[in-house]
């Protein structure tokens, strides 16, 4: 997974980081562009029935981040192994892993 995120990042002048704060909140990945914009990423390689749980978790972590320092995430992404991509009503984007590859 990290490999494909790095492929995506390199193609888009960005870098991939892991985020965990002192309270134990974490994001599987943060993709930050050269312009400072960033994507919050939660990766779920299991069944799609965990999508709602993944989206809630991602949103909770993003709410804890001091956006006065880093800004709001440009996108909140939940990445699954297959399927189709779409944006949920809560603003979380569901993206298949295959969308990251060359």
Domain boundaries, the chain: 2-99
* Helix-, strand-, coil-residue percentages of the chain, each rounded to 5: 35, 35, 35
**Could you tell me the pTM of the whole model?**
0.87
The one-digit pLDDT tens for each residue of the chain (102 residues) are 677 788 888 888 999 999 998 888 899 999 999 999 999 999 988 777 788 999 999 999 999 999 999 999 999 999 988 888 999 999 999 999 888 765
Q: What is the DSSP code string of 2-37?
A: HHHHHHHHHHTTEEEEEEE-TTS-EEEEEEEETTS-
Per the CB < 8 A criterion, the answer to whether 6 and 42 are in contact is no
Which CATH number does 2-99 carry? 3.40.1350
Per the CB < 8 A criterion, the answer to whether 15 and 32 are in contact is yes
């Amino acid at each position: 997974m990290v490999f494909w995120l790095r492929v995506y990042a390199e193609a888009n002048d960005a870098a991939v980081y892991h985020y965990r704060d002192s309270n134990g909140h974490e994001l599987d990945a943060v993709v930050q562009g050269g312009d400072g914009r960033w994507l919050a990423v939660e990766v779920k390689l299991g069944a799609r029935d965990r999508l709602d749980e993944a989206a809630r978790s991602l949103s909770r972590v993003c709410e804890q981040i001091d956006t006065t320092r880093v800004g709001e995430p440009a996108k909140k992404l939940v990445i699954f192994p297959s399927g189709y991509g779409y944006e949920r009503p809560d603003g979380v984007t569901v993206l298949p892993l295959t969308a990251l590859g060359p």
